[in-house]
């Protein structure tokens, strides 16, 4: 009889432990679900920020390319073509002919050739 009472007590303790464990697992699942929802929201925010940053990087790259074009186009064409001007003059071409070939104003050709002397 004592053995039966001990077994009943043990069975009740096991059942109480199972119920307690079940409640703990349910609570852990609930907390995990809330954490996953918060994590998903943070991931979505990070993705939006990443997309915005990518767009800004693309815009900056485009602006850099435009700035490079402006920088190089602001140089005077005669500066880049100085060797051509002097070479054509050395071949005996006249100022008007050089200006027509290189599409540079006659005055600039004259100036470059006068500086060379």
pLDDT, tens digit, 9 for 90 and up, residues 22-43: 999 999 999 999 999 999 999 9
How many CB atoms are located within 10 Å of the residue 100 CB? 13
Residues contacting residue 28 through CB under 8 Å, at least 6 positions apart: none
DSSP at 11: H
More reliable by pLDDT, 79 or 11: 11
Least Cα distance to 109 among 68, 81, 73 occurs for: 81
Q: What are the tens digits of pLDDT across the range 67-87?
A: 877 766 655 555 678 888 999
The percentage of residues in the chain with a pLDDT greater than 90, rounded to a whole number, is 50
Q: How far apart are CA 40 and CA 88, in angstroms?
A: 70
Q: For the chain, which residues make up each domain, given as ranges?
A: 1-63, 75-117
Between CA 106 and CA 96 the distance in angstroms is 6
């Amino acid at each position: 009889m004592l053995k039966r009472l001990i077994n009943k007590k043990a069975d009740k303790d096991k059942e109480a432990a199972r119920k307690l464990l079940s409640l703990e697992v349910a609570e852990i699942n609930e907390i995990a679900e809330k954490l996953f929802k918060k994590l998903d929201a943070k991931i979505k925010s990070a993705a939006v920020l990443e997309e915005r940053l990518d767009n800004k990087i693309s815009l900056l790259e485009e602006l850099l390319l435009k700035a490079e074009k402006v920088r190089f186009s602001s140089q005077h064409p005669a500066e880049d073509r100085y060797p051509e001007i002097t070479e054509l003059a050395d071949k005996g071409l006249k100022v008007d002919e050089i200006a027509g070939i290189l599409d540079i104003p006659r005055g600039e050709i004259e100036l470059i050739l006068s500086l060379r002397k």
